[in-house]
Chain A
Amino acid sequence: MSRILAARRLAPVLVAWGIGPSVSHQFEIEAKRDGAKAIEAEHMLLALAAGPGGDVAKLLGEAGLDYHRLAAALRDERRRTLAFAGMKVPDTKLVATTELDGSLTFGTSAKAAIRRALVGARHERHRRHLRSTDLLAGILDAELGTVPRALAISGIDRAEMASRAWGFKG
């Protein structure tokens, strides 16, 4: 599995595991919207939350979250983080550049989330397809980093949400 995760293009792997190309595409949209050079866990989380009426939306809704609230939580996290270094969030015009063509790669936090989702799906249910809720659980299982910080700032019980995501049966 580590060889798969080291590959530059993880999206086809996700598709093979039953995660639709539209979801992978949405990961990339969120990363580009954020001006990021790689897809990170927070972009995956936003992309999953962007799917209206799905299982992920249901789980997030139980915790009082939706796409817009998550996006706001991530903005709060960024503000707090930069404030630590005495900085404000820079004007997007200041750092605007020509966008590179081609697809983005998955960053470390995204790969870790996917690895946890794959391992969890395999161990717990002995199946060869991933649900979007497995990916959500894989993202929520991170204890440190941007997503847990954003959720902690918003007063969300991440561990509890992760355990509900793992136990989600649809």
Chain B
Amino acid sequence: MPTPPSPLDGPADGLAAASALRAIADELEDAEVERAMRAGWSWSQVAEALGVTRQAVHKKHLRRLLLAQIELRRRNGE
């Protein structure tokens, strides 16, 4: 059997970094979307700033924002 690669050498650091950065990016997005909505941003504004669709932001963040009891702007208020 070939020797398994070291968990620290070669591509291992880079792959671990990619995974860690992805998790941090997700956490940062959660935190900043929450902050933006607390500050009264609309779904469309948040989506535009993130470079994704309004539906994508809605789907990903609505549940947490409702739990956080943030007053969300209605579509006609945008």
Q: Spell out A's residues near B (CB within 8 Å).
A: 35-37, 77-78, 80-82, 84-85, 87, 90, 94-98, 100-101, 143-146, 148-149, 152-153
B52 within 8 A of partner (CB): no
Residues of A within 8 A of B31 (CB): 94-97
**Residue in B closest to A146 when the chains form the complex, CB atoms:** B16
Residues B68 and A95 in contact, CB atoms below 8 Å apart? no
Residues of B within 8 A of A98 (CB): 34, 64-65, 67-68
Q: In the complex, how many angstroms separate the beta carbon of A31 from the nearest chain B beta carbon?
A: 12
Number of residues of chain B lying within 8 A (CB) of chain A: 25
**Residue in A closest to B21 when the chains form the complex, CB atoms:** A85
**Residue in B closest to A153 when the chains form the complex, CB atoms:** B8
Residues A84 and B26 in contact, CB atoms below 8 Å apart? no
Residues A82 and B13 in contact, CB atoms below 8 Å apart? no
Q: In the complex, how many angstroms separate the beta carbon of B37 from the nearest chain A beta carbon?
A: 11
Residues B21 and A100 in contact, CB atoms below 8 Å apart? no
Q: Evaluate whether A82 and B20 lie within 8 angstroms (CB atoms) in the complex, with A95-B28, A97-B27, A98-B67 already known.
A: yes
**Residue in B closest to A101 when the chains form the complex, CB atoms:** B67
